[in-house]
Chains A and B, each alone.
Chain A
Amino acid sequence: MLATLWWLAFTVLCIWGQSMLPGVDFFAPGMAISLRWQKPSATIILTVIWVAIQEGAGGLAFGYAILWYAILFALLTVGRWLLDPGSIQFQALLGLALGLAHFLLLYLMAVLEMRAFPLGRVLGECLLQALLYPALWYAADAMFPDRLKRVHEESA
Chain B
Amino acid sequence: MNPKRVAFFLVAGLFFYLALYTWNLRTGFLTRMSTYSGLDSVGAVLRPGNWLGDTAGGFVERYLSLVGLKQENEILRAEIKALRLEAMTLRERAEATARVEKLLGFPEPPDWRKEGARVIAHRVGPTAILETILVDRGKLSGAQEDTPVLSTEGVVGRIYRAGLSVATVLLLTDPASRVAVVGRDNRAAGVVYGMGAGERLVVKYVGLKSTLEPGEILVTSGMDGVYPKGLPVARVSAVRREEATLFMDVQADPLVDIPRLEEVLLLKRAVRPEDSRALWD
Residues of A within 8 A of B (CB): 11-12, 15-16, 18-19, 22-25, 51-68, 70, 102, 106, 109-110, 112, 115-118, 121-122, 125, 129
Which residue from A15, A62, A115 sits with its C-beta under 8 Å from B34?
A62
Check if A56 sits within 8 Å of B34, measured CB to CB: yes
A148 to chain B, nearest CB (A): 23
Q: Which residue of A lies closest to B127 (CB)?
A: A58
A68 with B30, Cβ < 8 A, contacts A16-B49, A59-B168, A61-B24 known: no
Q: A59 — which chain B residues lie within 8 A by C-beta?
A: 123, 127-130, 132, 160, 168, 170
A-B CB contacts (within 8 Å), total count: 135
Q: B35 — which chain A residues lie within 8 A by C-beta?
A: 56
> How far is A52 from B175 in the complex, measured between Cα atoms in Å?
25
B130 to chain A, nearest CB (A): 3
26 A–B contacts from the bound complex (CB under 8 Å): A15-B42, A15-B46, A16-B45, A19-B121, A19-B124, A22-B124, A23-B128, A52-B38, A53-B38, A53-B42, A55-B30, A55-B31, A56-B36, A56-B38, A56-B42, A57-B134, A59-B123, A59-B132, A62-B30, A65-B127, A110-B129, A115-B129, A115-B176, A116-B175, A116-B176, A129-B126
A22 with B196, Cβ < 8 A, contacts A56-B42, A56-B163 known: no
B264 close to chain A: CB less than 8 A: no
Q: A106 — which chain B residues lie within 8 A by C-beta?
A: 126-127, 129
> How far is A70 from B21 in the complex, measured between Cα atoms in Å?
15
Q: B36 — which chain A residues lie within 8 A by C-beta?
A: 56
Known: A56-B34, A57-B125, A65-B127. 16 other contacts (CB 8 A): A22-B125, A23-B126, A54-B126, A55-B38, A56-B37, A56-B40, A56-B41, A56-B163, A59-B123, A60-B127, A61-B31, A64-B126, A109-B127, A110-B129, A115-B176, A121-B197
Check if A54 sits within 8 Å of B37, measured CB to CB: no
Q: A121 — which chain B residues lie within 8 A by C-beta?
A: 196-197
Q: Which residue of A lies closest to B46 (CB)?
A: A19
Check if B34 sits within 8 Å of A55, measured CB to CB: yes
Interface centre among B25, B123, B197 (most CB of A within 10 A): B123
B229 close to chain A: CB less than 8 A: no
Closest 9 CB pairs of A and B: A56-B38, A58-B127, A59-B130, A116-B175, A22-B123, A55-B34, A56-B39, A62-B30, A52-B38
Q: Considering the complex, which residues of chain B in the window 164-179 have a beta carbon less than 8 Å from any beta carbon of chain A?
A: 168, 170, 174-176
Interface size on B, residues (CB 8 A): 43
B204 close to chain A: CB less than 8 A: no
Q: B170 — which chain A residues lie within 8 A by C-beta?
A: 59
B200 close to chain A: CB less than 8 A: no
> How far is A132 from B42 in the complex, measured between Cα atoms in Å?
21
Q: A53 — which chain B residues lie within 8 A by C-beta?
A: 37-38, 41-42, 125
Check if A12 sits within 8 Å of B130, measured CB to CB: no
Q: B24 — which chain A residues lie within 8 A by C-beta?
A: 61-63
Q: A60 — which chain B residues lie within 8 A by C-beta?
A: 127, 129-130
Check if B49 sits within 8 Å of A64, measured CB to CB: no
> How far is A63 from B34 in the complex, measured between Cα atoms in Å?
11
B269 close to chain A: CB less than 8 A: no
Check if A66 sits within 8 Å of B124, measured CB to CB: no
B250 to chain A, nearest CB (A): 20
B122 close to chain A: CB less than 8 A: yes
A122 with B129, Cβ < 8 A, contacts A22-B122, A70-B13 known: yes
Q: B34 — which chain A residues lie within 8 A by C-beta?
A: 51-52, 55-56, 62
> How far is A16 from B13 in the complex, measured between Cα atoms in Å?
32
Q: A112 — which chain B residues lie within 8 A by C-beta?
A: 21
> How far is A149 from B41 in the complex, measured between Cα atoms in Å?
28
B17 close to chain A: CB less than 8 A: yes
> How far is A2 from B130 in the complex, measured between Cα atoms in Å?
37
Q: Which residue of B lies closest to A66 (CB)?
A: B17
Q: Which residue of A lies closest to B25 (CB)?
A: A61
Interface centre among A56, A58, A62 (most CB of B within 10 A): A56
